[in-house]
């Protein structure tokens, strides 16, 4: 079981790196927002796996807050984009 | 047996997340990237939360894990719709191989006005007739 957890954590860390590449290169602000949303999804997965590895069910609350924050951030960014504030892509 | 199911779920979830990240890094434009992240990352988080529910097998934890799944399933499409709409409106460039952009003839980028594509003479007359009350 510990091998499975290590492998999945490694794969998800690699996924975080790939998402970071898009966050860094992303030609426009919406691309970066999509990468941030992917970040939070991957973090929810990582927190779940760590909760399994350490037998601490309270970590699920962190996952819930993470998902909530990502949703609010995406909605906020989208409102900001549609209103047409000052941008520096 | 439980260990086997749990390990399978964790591995499948992390591989789906990796595929989502690969898609977001490799695909050519905003909408195709969203196509990769929204579905694959949602499925990955769902599978891992199912593994958490199976691992702990207590009512409180299972309820919370199902709550996370429900929340992600409900918010991911909304967030994708909103950010895709905003991205189109601020003029994110589409991929060069895009075959059809059905929104383009119906959208005015200066006034941000959307038409439905149903503005025929008949409909206009019917609407103005309704406004007159005749």
For A30, the closest of B14, B21, B92 (CB atoms) is B92
The answer to whether A31 and B86 are in contact (CB under 8 A) is no
Alpha helices (H) along chain B: 2-26, 30-56, 59-89, 121-132
Predicted complex: ipTM over 0.95: no
Pair type for strands B113-114 and B107-108: antiparallel
Residue B107 bridge partners (DSSP): B114
pLDDT 10s per residue in chain A (89 long)? 789 999 999 999 999 999 999 999 878 888 999 999 999 999 999 999 999 999 999 999 999 999 999 999 999 988 888 887 666 66
Q: Which residues contact B117 (CB under 8 A, 6 or more apart)?
A: B105, B106
Tell me the average pLDDT across B112-123: 73
The pLDDT score that the predictor gives to residue A89 is: 64
The pLDDT score that the predictor gives to residue B91 is: 73
Q: How far is CA A11 from the centre of its chain?
A: 14
Q: How far is CA A25 from the centre of its chain?
A: 17
CA pair distance B83, A79, nearest whole angstrom: 9
Is the CB of A30 less than 8 angstroms away from the CB of B68?
A: no
Tell me the average pLDDT across B47-54: 94
The pLDDT score that the predictor gives to residue B97 is: 82
- Mean pLDDT across chain B, nearest whole number? 85
CA pair distance A74, B43, nearest whole angstrom: 19
B111 — pLDDT class (breaks 50, 70, 90): confident
Nearest residue of A to residue B74 by CA position? A71
Instruction: Give which of A19, A20, A24, A38 to mutate to test B binding, by max B Cβ within 10 Å.
Output: A38
Instruction: Give which of B3, B46, B86 to mutate to test A binding, by max A Cβ within 10 Å.
Output: B86
Digit-coded pLDDT (tens) for B14-27: 999 999 999 999 99
What is the rounded end-to-end Cα distance, in angstroms, of chain B?
Answer: 73
> Which run of H or of E encompasses B100?
none
CA pair distance A73, A77, nearest whole angstrom: 6
**Domain locations in chain B?**
2-95
User: Is the pLDDT confidence value at B133 over 50?
Assistant: no
CA pair distance B54, B131, nearest whole angstrom: 60
């Amino acid at each position: 079981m510990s091998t499975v957890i290590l492998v999945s954590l490694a794969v998800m860390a690699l996924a975080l790196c790939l998402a970071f590449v898009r966050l860094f290169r992303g030609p426009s602000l919406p691309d970066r927002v999509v990468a941030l949303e992917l970040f939070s999804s991957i973090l929810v997965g990582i927190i779940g796996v760590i909760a399994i590895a350490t037998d601490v069910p309270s970590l699920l609350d962190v996952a819930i807050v993470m998902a909530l924050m990502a949703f609010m951030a995406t909605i906020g960014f989208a409102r900001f984009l549609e209103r047409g504030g000052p941008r520096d892509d | 047996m439980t260990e086997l199911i749990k390990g399978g779920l964790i591995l499948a979830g992390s591989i789906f997340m990796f595929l989502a990240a690969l898609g977001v890094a490799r695909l050519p434009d905003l909408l195709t990237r969203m196509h990769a992240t929204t579905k694959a990352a949602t499925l990955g988080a769902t599978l891992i939360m199912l593994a958490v529910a199976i691992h702990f097998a207590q009512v409180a934890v299972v309820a919370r894990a199902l709550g996370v799944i429900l929340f992600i399933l409900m918010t991911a499409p909304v967030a994708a719709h909103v950010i895709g709409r905003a991205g189109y409106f601020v003029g994110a460039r589409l991929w060069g191989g895009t075959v059809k952009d059905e929104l383009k003839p119906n959208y005015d980028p200066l006034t941000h006005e959307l038409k439905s594509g149903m503005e025929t003479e008949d409909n206009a007359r019917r609407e103005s007739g309704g406004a007159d009350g005749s």
